[in-house]
Homo-oligomer: A and B are copies of this chain.
């Protein structure tokens, strides 16, 4: 346990409030006193107790980041970006992995409020709005609109879905498949699927949509789905997946099944995470501007905390990155 203000005051022979004043540079302080206090501070190795400060100020300078799992590259990169911005503005970030579990997400939300975080960035969406804690700290969501107030950050999911689908079509694919996470989650990412269906329908292209039945990122699940797809729809020659992680699994299964990529089957992912260019063939994908999304999410939260006006809808553009898999 470190020294306290009181001990400094005692040593210097002044009142605690005086020491507090020199620490915070409030009002006039005599040069002599300041020196003596400074000396005592170094001698006693004093460091202000931020918990006590937080209690008084009613401000913790901590924000909570709730995501499914930081081990998923999209969220890892997002977390990285958010932490970077938070650090610059003197905020700490508490990392909360929901693992796609309702209970954990819910209890983390409560816990964050109890811990007096100044704000929350929510990127995990297993709860419906009614379950949301009342009297909550400032909130910004990622990829979900929860109500007409709460600001959210997303990228242009519909355009992304359209770009991906159109690319496959323009490359000559005759039958398309979409492999996605569970659609029942209220996420804007579902717009990618909407676009896929709209576009294929408009172009009159046969298509099939498959989604995981569990909530989470279990590779086994993707592998099974892909195998079933190849079995039931052997004529599919273009696959759009809603993440690069899924895409890489799908790619591997296809290769194992003896399909050549992109000759026999073309695959396009989504996200633009780092390892997309490491796999072989390199993955064509729709890039979400992850660092910008993280920065924007923090910026919005920061403004919310400071009671500055923010826009509710914050949709960033996506871009097509063509690589070897198409």
Q: Give A residues with C-beta under 8 Å from B.
A: 1-2, 45, 47-52, 54-55, 58, 60, 62, 65, 69-71, 73, 76-77, 79-80, 83-84, 87, 92-97, 99, 104, 110-111, 113-116, 134-135, 219, 248-249, 251-252, 255, 274-275, 277-282
Q: Considering the complex, give the chain B residue whose CB is closest to the CB of A275.
A: B275
Q: Is the CB of A92 within 8 A of B111?
A: yes
- When distances are taken between beta carbons in the complex, the residues of chain B under 8 Å from A279 are 248, 275, 278-280
Q: How far is the CA of A134 from the CA of B52 in the complex (A)?
A: 21
- Assess the A50–B275 pair: CB atoms within 8 A: no
- Specify which of B79, B104, B134, B135 is in contact with A95 (CB 8 Å cutoff): B79
Min CB–CB distance A109 → chain B (angstroms): 11
A99 to B248, CA, bound (A): 28
* Min distance, Cβ A288 to any Cβ of chain B, angstroms: 14
The residue from B51, B134, B255 contacting A55, defined by CB atoms under 8 A apart: B51
Contact B92 A248 (CB under 8 A): no
Give A262 Cβ to nearest chain B Cβ, in Å. Answer: 13
Distance of A111 Cα from B92 Cα, bound (Å): 9
| Closest Cβ–Cβ distance, residue A25 to chain B (whole Å) | 17
Known contacts A1-B135, A71-B80, A252-B280; 15 further A-B pairs (Cβ under 8 A): A45-B135, A49-B114, A50-B115, A51-B54, A62-B94, A70-B79, A83-B97, A87-B97, A93-B95, A94-B94, A94-B95, A95-B95, A248-B275, A251-B278, A275-B279
The listed residue (B47, B58, B79, B251) touching A114 by CB distance below 8 A is B47
| Interchain CB contact (< 8 A) of A83 among B47, B70, B110 | B70
Given contacts A54-B51, A278-B279, contact A70 B60 (CB under 8 A): no
Closest B residue to A114 by beta carbon equals B50
Residue of B with least CB distance to A54? B51
Q: Which residue of B lies closest to A110 (CB)?
A: B47
Contact B55 A55 (CB under 8 A): yes
Q: Provide a sorted-by-A list of 7 A–B residue pairs whose CB atoms are within 8 angstroms.
A: A51-B51, A70-B70, A73-B73, A92-B111, A94-B95, A249-B278, A251-B278
